[in-house]
Amino acid sequence: MIGIGRWGRLVLIGLPFAWLGLFFLFPLLIVLKISLARGAIGIPPYTPLLFDDGSGLKIQATLANFALLASDDLYLRAYLGALGNAALATALCLALGYPIAYAIARSPGEWRLLLLFLVMLPFWTSFLIRVYAWIAILKPNGLLNQLLIAVGLITTPLPLLNNAFSVELGLVYSYLPFMILPLYGNLSALDESLLEAAADLGARPIRGFLGVTLPLSLPGIAAGSLLVLTPAVGEFVIPDLLGGADTLMIGKVLWDEFFSNRDWPVASAVAVVLVAALAIPILLAQKFLAQERAA
Amino acid sequence: MPASEAQPVMALLEIAGVSKRFGVTAVDDVSLSIEKGEFFALLGPSGCGKTTLLRMIAGLEIPDRGRVLIDGVDVTALPPYSRPVNMMFQSYALFPHMDVAGNIAFGLRQEKMDRRRVAARVGEMLALVQMSDYGGRRPHELSGGQRQRVALARALAKMPKLLLLDEPLAALDRKLRAETRLELIGIQERVGTTFLLVTHDQEEALGMASRIAVMNRGRVVQIGAPAEIYERPGSRFVADFVGEVNLFEGELTAGFNCLALTIAGFDRPIPLSPPAGITLPEGAAAALALRPERLRLCRERPPGFALAATVASVSYLGGASIVHLVAGGGRPMKVRLPAGADCPPRGAAVWASWSPDEGVLITQ
């Protein structure tokens, strides 16, 4: 940091903080404020936090919305359902994404860019359109069932859509690139002479992988898992479009509270608890990554 | 290449006609054998194929042609993890996620050695490289010299039949390099393991090895003891690459009672004492190699053969001085004078002399 000066340094560090404050913390505080209000008929559809009843400014806040979340086990089941689905999707993305990232990182230089491009290619099409495409593939008379019937593997269509399977498939399909990219970044930076040293010291390829590659790729695994887990927990489009009546995920509950029930305070409380629940694994991973970096 | 060496009954390492191409030929039909207990050096400029040859011995590259035998067993097609050799990498390649003891134990654990024996062996190795207090450190917490010791200990832990060292001192600073050189020799004598060292530094090879193979463009151009390589270079390349040298190109002529070399610009042919058993036609192109420390300088013309020259400059090195001369025909020459010798000033007219057996006739 030579030549920037004290003010320059402040601006440099302050900029990301200002960004986060303006676009993350400030909206979050608004949501927090709404979560402490009561529902009301009007615009906006909740009671104000501060009001003047003629005898001075008063604060009006309630924890009733949070109490509601605790009293109705629908919310708890929705949180756990979302977490379970997202955790399974993260594990599947890791199982699929690790070999893909490894193969790309080990492929010849001129292939790597093309392969990475292919990984990112789906982003060029709208997320919604891609989810709708899965409906066309999975529905009872959809492409996959037609194909399976045509080749004679099945005689009646399989129930592929609107169940736990289709939700999981949609999550894994949508978030796989977020696992592959950080893992690729990590694995491509691995010093190949370490693997040569392991082989030279008598380690067969599988032991070299388990003893050297895997432990050194833990930061990549942690980063990829977070990038998949975090958005997958709050996901509502996939459970809404690919899920069935029994699919319970908190993102969808939140959506329904906001847009079907127009109960902004309860929806906000759901969001606040969700953010808090997600912050814990993120902070844990952050601590782990910091330790890795220090080591 | 001297074919005079008798084939041993069974060399520890036998390389027979090994070649390897990566687009261009990296190693070209190399054969050599190394005896048990030797400290052998592969010396050559960067890109001469010495590291590729080392990697083929380790199993990290597979030769296109030829065979590699270790202790009489053909290992040409064996993967690195099945060979009784270990390598010390130029970058050290220490595992960053393991501490020093973990790094040294890595190879032993692959053999499923029981934990107490692993710990004992690790302790032994740490003591050998004087790192006993550092077992719990991570590689990034060590200095360059300490990492180098850990890499050596790790490579020696499995008691390999042959230890391969790829430029082991290249990453150290000058002073540390000199100390480490002595340490490596000491460790080699203590453990008795055969060492095969790859280096581009001729001082390193001359100072450590019991035998040296000089490589150029994928081929071994000369094999011999350090003194032999230095004193009797077999080619212009070896004479020039190993140490400082004055090379005079000329034509062979019959001189007074002996063979001589006629050099353009010199007023008389230089008398030679040709190596025994070599017959060369008169008029053949040849070169005379003279080490700078073999030359003597006199202000007065000495008896016998001497070359007239002028002092162009003098570089003072502390322990010695290098006098740069210009001889007949504008030919530059270097003379190394020990400290305390009478050093002529710039511009002085001097006579450079040597005895005929101090010059080496080179025909390749």
pLDDT in tens, B254-305: 765 567 777 777 777 777 776 655 666 777 778 888 889 888 888 888 887 7
Decide if the complex's ipTM is over 0.90. Answer: no
Is 90 exceeded by the pLDDT of residue B346?
no
- Residues in chain B with CB shorter than 8 Å from the CB of A197 are 87, 89, 93-95
CB-based contact B80 A200, cutoff 8 Å: yes
Over residues A185-214, mean pLDDT: 94
Predicted local distance difference test score (pLDDT) of residue B80: 95
Residue type at position A95: A
Look at residues B280, B291, B273, B183 and name the one whose alpha carbon lies nearest to residue B231: B291
B346 neighbors B309 (Cβ within 8 angstroms): no
Predicted local distance difference test score (pLDDT) of residue A1: 47
Which class in CATH covers the domain with range B244-362? Answer: mainly beta
Average pLDDT, chain A: 90
A72 neighbors A59 (Cβ within 8 angstroms): no
Residue B297 bridge partners (DSSP): B352
Q: Are strands B296-298 and B349-353 parallel, antiparallel or unpaired?
A: antiparallel
Predicted local distance difference test score (pLDDT) of residue B276: 55
Over residues B164-171, mean pLDDT: 90
A198 neighbors B106 (Cβ within 8 angstroms): yes
Predicted local distance difference test score (pLDDT) of residue B327: 83
Look at residues B173, B170, B209 and name the one whose alpha carbon lies nearest to residue B92: B170
Q: How far apart are CA B364 and CA B362, in angstroms?
A: 6
Which one has a higher pLDDT value, A284 or B81? B81
Confidence band for A295, pLDDT divided at 50, 70 and 90 = low
Look at residues B57, B134, B132, B143 and name the one whose alpha carbon lies nearest to residue B92: B143
Of B79, B94, B111, the CB nearest to A199: B79
Architecture of domain B13-237 in this structure: 3-Layer(aba) Sandwich (3.40)
CB-based contact B93 A204, cutoff 8 Å: no
- SS3 label, residue B316: strand
CB-based contact A198 B96, cutoff 8 Å: no
Residue range(s) in chain B whose domain bears CATH number 3.40.50.300 = 13-237
Residue type at position A245: A
Which of B22, B85, B87 to mutate against chain A (most A CBs within 10 Å)? B87
The two three-digit tokens of residue B146, written as one number: 């300490």
DSSP H or E run through B122: helix B115-128
The two three-digit tokens of residue B197, written as one number: 């060292």
Query: Which string of b and e fits A44-78 if b means at least 16 CB within 10 Å?
Result: eebbeeeeeeeeeeeeeeeebbbeebeeeeebeeb
Q: How far is A4 from chain B (nearest CA, A)?
A: 30
CB-based contact A200 B138, cutoff 8 Å: no
CB-based contact B58 A194, cutoff 8 Å: no
Q: How far is B182 from chain A (nearest CA, A)?
A: 25
Predicted local distance difference test score (pLDDT) of residue B282: 72
B137 touches chain A (CB under 8 A): no
- SS3 label, residue A225: helix
Residue B262 bridge partners (DSSP): B251
CB-based contact A202 B59, cutoff 8 Å: no
Over residues B169-190, mean pLDDT: 86
**Beta strand ranges found along B4-154 (DSSP E):** 13-22, 24-34, 39-43, 65-70, 73-74, 85-88
Collect all residues from A whose CB is shorter than 8 A from any CB in B. 191, 193-194, 196-204, 207, 211-212, 215-216, 295
Q: How far apart are CA B19 and CA B53, in angstroms?
A: 9
Residue range(s) in chain B whose domain bears CATH number 2.40.50.140 = 244-362
Q: What is the CATH topology of the domain spanning A68-294?
A: MetI-like fold (1.10.3720)
Most confident of A91-95, A106-110, B219-223: A91-95
